[in-house]
Structure 1
């Protein structure tokens, strides 16, 4: 069989879907990665994966440009003739579903990780786009040869209640998975009596709780607390709610945090910190930073909003929860961990067990290929999917 994976950045395909592509390769299938041009795409060739580029502007609303993008996608799919198209993110899912119909692609899987900017922002632009995006969802996500993968039950309920997709066409697969062998607790463990190091790793969007993170750092400094705040991630020029680099530099100059920028070796970084914080009020799927931190046995502090509560299911058991937009509450939870290093250790152990049970990428990949097999049960090659259902951890 031939698969095409389509996303709005090559970075996303490389970091989040490479393991699935390689699993398909190992099962004897061909996988083509498709995205706009970028610096990660060239890495696919070394792994025997072909990469094709599609000119696409994530934030564009120009009708002529978008029509040209859609037509280019149709032409690419007609040329590649995949058995199945798997599209990721809202815009790619909509465009992919429309183009797949025009190109007669036999099966389509759409993956939407979180509701995104259009559904979470109160800006005029987001509110204006919302009814259009909803109409496109309803028009594109209803095919009998297509399925929609969402990352948490809250999104599944929201999509069904709003009639954005039929409940029988929705599948829930929690997260894109994490390699629990690569991401594992540091050995020997970090000293529990040292300076507490707190990390927020995410795209630099306001809705990720960056202001609350900075305000918590300021509150702890005012109290004389010796806690180190680290920020990993880069601005996202394609998102209207991105924090710009000069703003982050102001926080650095004020002594509130260290900015690490883009980090290639996340396991190495996670082995140097004690706590992962994500005070997000973004409509997350399941945040990758949280499951990576859980796999490394870190204590997690996050909100109880959809997506985040898939990782921290019980406050005080597998992590700590705070209210959204509550910097004081976030500061108090960090203080609790600074004062109680036994709690810090216990939460990290529970988080690791949670990652092994629910977020191991081998489980996630198997659930994904099961969706493929569901769409094409009689296709040659599906037997190999079913023959490899047992996953050992």
Structure 2
């Protein structure tokens, strides 16, 4: 069978969905990657996948430009004739759902990992857009030959309460999974030395970037020798992105160490003690938290949708910090700096949870089960699922 994976960046497809594509490929299916142009797309050929591009500006509100994007998308789907289209992110789900109907695609899966800027921000632009986006979602996602995949129960409740998608068409698959054989506790010694804390994310203010920097500044002012590391790049396509100039000023001030985009996350995590994500963004299930958990790091995050799926018990599988509270974040980091036994216990508990609940093999299998629900009756030669070994 043929599958098309459609996202608003090639980066997302490569970093979050490559393993699922590889599983389908290994089972004898064809997977085509579809996104706007970007620096990661060229890597798909080396993995045996075709990559198609289309003109799409994920921040655009220009009706003419959006109509052109939709026209291109319909044209691509009519040419490719996939058995199933899997759309990722809100905008791609809306456009992909509409285009799939126009192009006669038999089955569609829409994956929304977090509610995004329109649903998380309270600025005027987001509030104005929200009713329109909800109407578009209701009109394009709720279709008998489509299913919606969300990453946490909080988002599922929003969709049910708003009647955006029928209850029976909603599936919750927590996270996009983590390779627990690649991300694992480090054998490096020296964890009892200088504490190293990491925030790894797109550099959006709602990820708690400002609070993280302020906590670092407070602890530095107290004379603590703790290194605060920031990994990730600004996201110019998001109105709430931290600017490149701002991050460079923080680094020049000596408050943080900024690494930019990091290719080899397992290598970086082997040098880190604490993964912090003081987010007040409506996350799906944050990739950085489950990667940190798999690497055996102590986790600090908020009791927000998505984040609470990873850290459920304060002091047991991580530490919970109130959102928008730099002083509380500084206090928790200082606690781990002073109590290395707690640091080790939290890291071990996080690793155990990652293996038990977020291993990507189980997540991929659950995704294939969703495909099976839509395609099973039409499958030539039997099931999609196969073995998980």
Normalised by the size of structure 1, how large is the TM-score? 0.98
User: Matched residue of 1:383: which SS?
Assistant: coil
Tell me how far apart the structure 1 counterparts of residues 142 and 247 of structure 2 sit (CA, whole Å): 43
Tell me how far apart the structure 2 counterparts of residues 67 and 386 of structure 1 sit (CA, whole Å): 37
User: Matched residue of 2:382: which SS?
Assistant: helix
Asked if 2 retains the 8 angstrom alpha-carbon contact of 1:206 and 1:243, the reply is yes
Encode CA deviations 1:226-254: one digit per residue, 9 max, x unaligned: 11100000000000000011111111122
Counterpart check, 1:40 vs 2:35: no
| Residue in 1 that maps onto 2:245 | 246
Tell me how far apart the structure 2 counterparts of residues 218 and 33 of structure 1 sit (CA, whole Å): 42
Deviation, 1:351, is: 0.4
Deviation, 1:384, is: 3.7
User: Matched residue of 2:378: which SS?
Assistant: coil
Deviation, 1:141, is: 1.5
Tell me how far apart the structure 2 counterparts of residues 142 and 198 of structure 1 sit (CA, whole Å): 42
Counterpart check, 1:237 vs 2:240: no
- RMSD in angstroms over aligned alpha carbons? 1.0
**1:266-305 counterparts in 2 under 5 A?**
266-305=265-304
CA change 1:302–1:291 in 2 (3 A) is same
Tell me how far apart the structure 2 counterparts of residues 382 and 305 of structure 1 sit (CA, whole Å): 44
Deviation, 1:382, is: 6.9
| Residue in 2 that maps onto 1:2 | 2
Tell me how far apart the structure 2 counterparts of residues 51 and 253 of structure 1 sit (CA, whole Å): 39
Tell me how far apart the structure 2 counterparts of residues 332 and 231 of structure 1 sit (CA, whole Å): 19
Counterpart check, 1:92 vs 2:92: yes
Deviation, 1:385, is: 2.4
CA change 1:381–1:304 in 2 (3 A) is farther
CA change 1:381–1:342 in 2 (3 A) is farther
Tell me how far apart the structure 1 counterparts of residues 16 and 386 of structure 2 sit (CA, whole Å): 25
Asked if 2 retains the 8 angstrom alpha-carbon contact of 1:373 and 1:382, the reply is no
Tell me how far apart the structure 2 counterparts of residues 88 and 11 of structure 1 sit (CA, whole Å): 12
| Residue in 1 that maps onto 2:354 | 355
Asked if 1 retains the 8 angstrom alpha-carbon contact of 2:372 and 2:383, the reply is no
Deviation, 1:269, is: 0.3
Encode CA deviations 1:251-279: one digit per residue, 9 max, x unaligned: 11221111000100000000001000000
User: Matched residue of 1:155: which SS?
Assistant: helix
Tell me how far apart the structure 2 counterparts of residues 320 and 386 of structure 1 sit (CA, whole Å): 37
Normalised by the size of structure 2, how large is the TM-score? 0.99
Deviation, 1:97, is: 0.1
Tell me how far apart the structure 2 counterparts of residues 342 and 22 of structure 1 sit (CA, whole Å): 40
Asked if 2 retains the 8 angstrom alpha-carbon contact of 1:209 and 1:280, the reply is yes
Counterpart check, 1:369 vs 2:355: no
Tell me how far apart the structure 1 counterparts of residues 375 and 174 of structure 2 sit (CA, whole Å): 22
Unaligned runs of 5+ in 2: none
Asked if 1 retains the 8 angstrom alpha-carbon contact of 2:376 and 2:384, the reply is no
User: Matched residue of 2:139: which SS?
Assistant: helix
User: Matched residue of 1:157: which SS?
Assistant: helix
Deviation, 1:152, is: 0.3
CA change 1:382–1:284 in 2 (3 A) is farther
Encode CA deviations 1:61-109: one digit per residue, 9 max, x unaligned: 0000000100110000000000000000000000000000000100000
Counterpart check, 1:107 vs 2:104: no
**1:1-393 counterparts in 2 under 5 A?**
1-188=1-188, 190-381=189-380, 383-388=382-387, 391=388
Tell me how far apart the structure 2 counterparts of residues 385 and 73 of structure 1 sit (CA, whole Å): 26
Number of aligned residue pairs = 389
User: Matched residue of 2:119: which SS?
Assistant: helix
Deviation, 1:307, is: 0.3
Encode CA deviations 1:168-224: one digit per residue, 9 max, x unaligned: 110000011111111111114x32420000000000000000110011011101111
Tell me how far apart the structure 2 counterparts of residues 257 and 47 of structure 1 sit (CA, whole Å): 36
Asked if 2 retains the 8 angstrom alpha-carbon contact of 1:376 and 1:382, the reply is no
User: Matched residue of 2:104: which SS?
Assistant: coil
Asked if 2 retains the 8 angstrom alpha-carbon contact of 1:2 and 1:30, the reply is yes
